Amino acid sequence: MKSIKRSLRLVSVLILAFIAGMIMLVLKIQREAGFYISHSDNAELGLVYDRNGDVLFDSDATPDKYGDNYFIDVGNLIGDAKGQMTNTLVAKNIEKLNNYSFSMGLVPKGGKSSIHTSLDHYANRIVYDSFGDSEGCAVAYDYKTGEILVCTSLPSLDVTKGYSGIADFETGTLISKVMYGTVPGSTQKVSTLLSAFQIMGKDKLFSKSYTCEGVYMNKGGNKIDCHNSYGHGTQNIQQAFQNSCNPFFAQLVEDDDMPLEEIIKCYEKMGYAVNDDEEKYFDINGIKCERASTTLTDSYDFNTQWGCIGQGKTLVSPMQLMLWQSGIVNETGKMTMPYLIKYTTNVDGEIGDWADTSFSEEVFTPESAVEVKNIMLENGKNYSESISGYTLGIKSGTAQIKDGEEENSLLVGFIENERHPIAFCVLLENKENSATRSENIVKTMLDALCK
């Protein structure tokens, strides 16, 4: 009998193991059922709201219900559930919009599932309109809390009109350019400046001066052009930053006190993928945002210097450019991590998923942040007329694209304001053919947010 009992223990073990598996299955189904339903054709989706209760997404929306192009400023950011756009808030968080619970099933009417975002639809729309016929993108967020307030990208689409004629859509219509890498132009000099402060220290960097004669022949024998063909003369770091002088920064990169390995270390700490072909992303409420990338091989190499100046192979998303501003203006060297979703409600209306302010690890030293902040604030004084009414830290950039055939204008910065702690980045594409200027868009955006 003893041996029979031992044998039957095996039966017990098998049955218990199976029961354990079934318990895991039930828990898994309970936890993930909303996700499964969100992939169903029968999904009943709730609404997405802005910070003031304005609707940003409604699966039953029609132009008649909301008005023509009502959602166009958030079309490629908030998106829809039709599957054409995959890197949008709705696509990435569709299970949170499900009017469904495992016990109640689908709730077509009366379901209270919703996403409440931090976006300001009013300001977003004004910024969108301020681009006029131009294309580009703009993003602004609260650098104290991480709330994204404005995030718009042109061209965009009114999702209520569907995707008929998708083949004729302009390039970039279905993505938010805020999340994707672009040539940063001289806004890259903020990163190089931060690196220089960390590598050399304040005193040594301020003691350095280089001469710009409009063109600089680097040690590798290549020409680095300056936007000022007459040259800026001999400058220190602050003057060169304000002048956005390319030859100065090329000489800075060549300087023996600024070893390339150290620059690479600083860049990588800031989140750059250096000499890495693989695309990398970080996450904002599920939305993938491209990480910065550049190629740095030799201090005397043209492409390396050009990369540190913000041209060539260097790519940085407007979102990333803006995030570094938070580390500078907060004087911590830590980025305030952005979010779009403030909170959600489930099918019963219970609030959940409250957003918490969080910070990155230290991506540059607080000391370098203080110095760069001061330089940017000094530079901001040059914009006191075009962007009046704000204590502004700013850096402009002109990015050469399509082999220099077109130039994009960028403005990245922050305002020092206790009530409105806003960092921003604006990208205006093909600025020569644009009826507006990036400063105008920034001014419009800040006015709308600080109304």
Partner 1 sequence: MEKTGKTKYVISAFFVLTAHIAMLYSMFYNGNYDSPSKLIVLSMAVIGLDFVYFIAMLFFKQTTYTIDFMLIFILNISLIFQSSFGGIQLSVKHLVTCIASLVACRLGYILCRDHKWIQTKKKAFYIATGIIILSILTLTGSRSMWIDLGFFTIQPSEFLKPAFILVCTTYVAEQQNKVSIWKFNIVPENLICTAFIILICGLQWWCRDLGSLPTFVAIYLCGLCARLCYPKAKLSKKLIVTGIILIGVLAIIAVILAPPYVKARLFVDIWSDSTGDGYQQSQALIAIANGGWFGKGAGNGDLHNIFAYETDLVFASICEEWGLFFALMVVAVILIMLACPLVNPPRSYFHATLATGVCSAFVVQMALNIFGSCNMIPFTGVTVPFISQGGSSMVTCGFMMGMLIAGQSPVFKNPVVKNNKKRKRVTAR
Residues contributing to the site for partner 1 (CB under 8 A): 1, 3-8, 10-12, 14-15, 17-19, 21-22, 24-26, 28-29, 32-34, 36-37, 39-40, 42, 100, 102-106
Distance of closest approach, residue 45 Cβ to partner 1, in angstroms? 15
Is 11 or 435 the residue whose CB approaches partner 1 more closely? 11
Contact of 154 with 131, CB cutoff 8 Å: yes
Least distance to partner 1, CB of residue 37, Å:
5
In terms of CB distance, is 38 or 156 closer to partner 1?
Answer: 38
CB contact set of 378 (below 8 Å; sequence gap of 6+): 238, 242
**DSSP strand pairing (392-401 vs 406-415):** antiparallel
**What Rg, from alpha-carbon coordinates, does the chain have?**
26
Q: Quick one: 26 or 166, whose CB is closer to partner 1?
A: 26
Q: Residue 398: left if φ>0, alpha if ψ -120 to 50, beta else—which one?
A: beta
Give the separation between CA 130 and CA 370, rounded to whole angstroms: 33
Shortest separation between residue 13's beta carbon and partner 1, angstroms: 9
Q: Which residue number, 29 or 215, has a Cβ lying nearer to partner 1?
A: 29
Least distance from C-beta 351 to partner 1, angstroms? 23
Which CB sits closer to partner 1, 55 or 81? 81
3-state secondary structure 76-102: HHHCCCCCCCCCCHHHHCHHHHECEEC
First-residue to last-residue Cα distance in the chain: 86
The distance of closest approach from Cβ of residue 99 to partner 1 in the complex, given in angstroms and rounded to an integer, is 13
Please return the burial class of 8, using the count of CB atoms within 10 Å of its CB with bins 0-12, 13-18 and 19+.
Answer: exposed
Taking the complex as a whole, the smallest distance from the CB of residue 20 to partner 1 amounts, in Å, to 11
Instruction: Choose between 19 and 166: whose C-beta lies nearer to partner 1.
Output: 19
Q: How far is the CB of 21 from partner 1 (least distance, A)?
A: 6
Residue 165 falls in which region: left (phi positive, over 0), alpha (psi -120 to 50) or beta: left
Q: Helices (DSSP H) in 131-254: which residue ranges?
A: 188-200, 202-207, 237-243, 246-254
Give the residue with the Cβ less far from partner 1, 44 or 147: 44
